[in-house]
Amino acid sequence: MDKYNLILLGPPGAGKGTHAASLVRELGVTHLSTGDMLRAAVAEDTELGQEARGYMEAGELVPDELVIGIVRERLLRDKLSSVLFDGFPRTVAQAEALEQVAAEAGLPEARVIYLDVSDQEVVARLSGRFQCRSSSCNRIYNVRNDNLRPGEQCPACGSETYQREDDQPEAIRRRLAVYREQTAPLIDYYRRREQLTEIKAEGDRVEAITARVLAAAREGAAQG
């Protein structure tokens, strides 16, 4: 079976969650979204959730040690060998830590797919975005494309849908600023290492963009 170590990189609202769902379906990779993991911890009010909540609501990054810790634990505990990271790494320190943990877990070198989207498009997408509250579904919708409003039932699983606290205008602005300062340097970091594939992720049908993402991901396959 092919092994994957894929990273979806891009600003909030670039479509990471949406394309991740296709990659899981087509390649059988395990989806590791640190945002989903942290939101689940907040909902369950675990110690981790209590530490992370304030940062998340303000649109700030949760401290590196916490995030690296949950990723490491999940990779090693479940002996994952084919993985798609979504929303991780978000800082150079996380990228360096991931390299070590990935080697420990026997994953191949990471292939990074950078979803390039303009700020204007990001704001338009995020302010209309909402999602399913069920942690086993987490389906993402947008008032621009879906005939559905936040608070209505998820057509996929019947749970309630809701708008994330951090998709309110003030937090969106903060998240974009945080992305530019702390996460965007990873584009050059991975480009220099020749691990990056850039994909223009707007102005086209979602299916067309997904096809490009899939092709880029397949190039990163390692025989295992």
- Of the candidates 39, 125, 139, 164, the residue annotated as catalytic is 164
Q: What is the largest CA-CA distance in the chain?
A: 45
* Cβ atoms within 10 Å of 132's Cβ, excluding its own: 21
Question: Binding ligand AMP by CB under 6 A: which of 11, 35, 108, 220?
Answer: 35
Strands (E) located in 143-207: 161-162, 196-200
User: Pattern of binders to ligand AMP over 174-203, x per CB under 6 A?
Assistant: -x----------------------------
Binding of ligand AMP by 48 (CB under 6 A): no
Yes or no: say if 6 and 190 are a contact pair by the CB < 8 Å rule: no
Local structure of 139: helix, strand or coil: coil
In the complex with ligand AMP, the residue whose CB is nearer, 31 or 218, is 31
Select the residue interacting with ligand AMP from 14, 20, 38, 117 (CB under 6 A). Answer: 38
Q: Answer yes or no whether residue 87 interacts with ligand AMP by CB under 6 A.
A: yes
Catalytic residue among 39, 125, 129, 139: 129
CB atoms within 10 A of CB 16: 24
**DSSP characters over 32-95:** EEHHHHHHHHHHTT-HHHHHHHHHHHHTPPPPHHHHHHHHHHHHHHTT--SEEEES---SHHHH
Q: Which of 114, 132, 166, 186 binds ligand AMP (CB under 6 A)?
A: 166
Binding segment for ligand AMP among 87-95, 113-121, 151-159, 212-220 (CB under 6 A)?
87-95
The one among 32, 56, 176, 199 contacting ligand AMP by CB under 6 A:
56
Restricting to residues 92-111, name those near ligand AMP by CB under 6 A.
94
Q: Which residue among 11, 15, 59, 220 contacts ligand AMP (CB under 6 A)? A: 59
Active-site residue flag, 74:
no
132 binds ligand AMP (CB under 6 A): no
Q: What are phi and psi of 32, to 5 degrees?
A: -115, 100
Q: CA 186 → CA 21, 101, 129, 159, distances in Å?
A: 23, 18, 25, 36
Q: What phi, psi does 132 have (nearest 5°)?
A: -75, 140
Check binding of 34 to ligand AMP (CB under 6 A): yes
Catalytic residues: 16, 90, 129, 164, 175
Name the residues that contact ligand AMP, by CB under 6 A: 12, 34-35, 38, 55-56, 59-62, 67, 87-88, 90, 94, 166, 175
